[in-house]
A and B are shown apart, each in its own frame.
Chain A
């Protein structure tokens, strides 16, 4: 058998492609859900961390630190295999979505916080002097400026979430990687794995380039 027949076997690839595509769909849904929930949760955590009364602020800091420290794989395994002993039984998708979202929220929180703190003090003072409410100060004045600054790191974080969805295959979630390993077993050929790797790259490479571009544009805007 030639190296092509082993690793890039066209017949095998065509045969397993539907399986891979169904896996891709799961990966995509999981990633997108975790990104959206992570952004919303991250913004909320950042605001709590900055403006909540002291005990809540300290709780928030502890929460953020905890989920930035724990490896996602460990969290995922705990959520899926340990929580059932407490009567909390999650589907593979729910376990993966919640683990990825919470970790992503913790990272996003620190990014948003840095963005909010980068907004000039005079902006807050002008909003106060105009009698804008704290809510309006955030939505009209502070967040539009903060979010502009954090678009590159937030996009970078979203890429990480998309990549980390592959970890969900350890809790038997039929994502792209899981389907590929199954197809490999089925066909006794590694082509499906190569196919999955290529699909990951096709999706993520443009995003990585996009981050670099955004960073360059930010740097130019600040000059």
Chain B
């Protein structure tokens, strides 16, 4: 599998707090990697470095062969990396359809009619074609997050990042979002997912990465990670999240 993301020796400081400690991780094209770990372990920071929502202090990141740095190349990298946020971050003053169609027009140069058509198809794919003309504030959390996924997909990115996509949802809405992600996983998309949904991780992941204290502690296929964890920190973490 050709690596499409290569991170090596990534350091990130927030003031005097070291959020990432020489983290290295390669992710293959079409691979689905789920990153788990306790809060503050650096999982979100790690994936936010991939599209530079956080600027790393040391180390190198390559996306599809392009070095990720500040400057002109960054826009090209971001165009290939879609992101779904914990708090959705939809644009509240635009219709759902326009939320999805905006970036293809502004970044890819599509006409509005082309972009609206693409947006309509994507909204159908996430089961929201009936809500295209509504505003985000009129939708439930689960619906908003599905719009968030459609918006990321509209750029036809090579990589999709999910930053705790279900953590802000009421429990009864988690399933509808995970279903959409599961369908997406079957299309061969490259996905990097930070989540606390362990059942979902086991079902969807090619590889599970466990982080603690800004380091990758253990990684492997889901069966091995969940059924035969080696590091005591992973075992403690799994006990804590699976026992309730």
Q: Is B82 an interface residue (CB 8 A)?
A: yes
**List of B residues within 8 angstroms of A130 by Cβ:** 78, 102-103, 107, 151-152, 155
Which segment, of A39-47, A109-117, A138-146, faces chain B?
A: A138-146
Which residue of the partner chain B has the closest CB to A145?
B93
Q: List 22 A-B contacts (CB under 8 A).
A: A122-B85, A122-B88, A125-B85, A125-B89, A126-B83, A128-B51, A128-B52, A128-B53, A129-B78, A129-B81, A129-B152, A130-B78, A130-B102, A131-B76, A131-B78, A131-B79, A131-B107, A132-B102, A133-B75, A133-B106, A133-B107, A145-B93
Bound CA–CA A63/B6 (angstroms): 47
**How many residues on the A side are at the interface (Cβ–Cβ under 8 A)?**
17
Q: Does B132 touch A at the CB level, under 8 Å?
A: no
Interface on B for A, CB 8 Å cutoff?
Answer: 51-53, 75-76, 78-79, 81-83, 85, 87-93, 102-103, 106-107, 151-152, 155
| Bound CA span A128–B161, Å | 14
Whether a CB of chain B sits under 8 angstroms from the CB of A223 is no
Verify B93–A131 contact, CB threshold 8 A: no
A131 near B53 with CB under 8 A, answer: no
Find chain A residues with CB under 8 A from B76 CB.
131
- Residue from B52, B90, B107, B155 within 8 A of A126 (CB atoms): B90
Please count the residue pairs between chain A and chain B whose beta carbons lie under 8 angstroms apart in the complex.
57
Chain B residues with CB under 8 Å of A129's CB are: 51, 53, 78, 81-83, 85, 152
Please give the residue numbers on chain A whose beta carbons come within 8 Å of chain B beta carbons, in ascending order.
120, 122-123, 125-126, 128-133, 136, 140-141, 144-145, 148
For residue A144, which residues in chain B have a CB less than 8 angstroms away from its CB? 93
Question: A127 CB to closest chain B CB, in angstroms?
Answer: 8
Residues of B within 8 A of A120 (CB): 89
B85→A140 contact, CB < 8 A? no
Given A144-B93, A145-B92, are A132 and B106 also a contact pair (CB < 8 Å)? yes
Closest 6 CB pairs of A and B: A126-B89, A122-B89, A131-B78, A130-B103, A129-B83, A131-B79
Query: When chains A and B are docked, how far (Å) is the Cα of A136 from the Cα of B75?
Result: 13
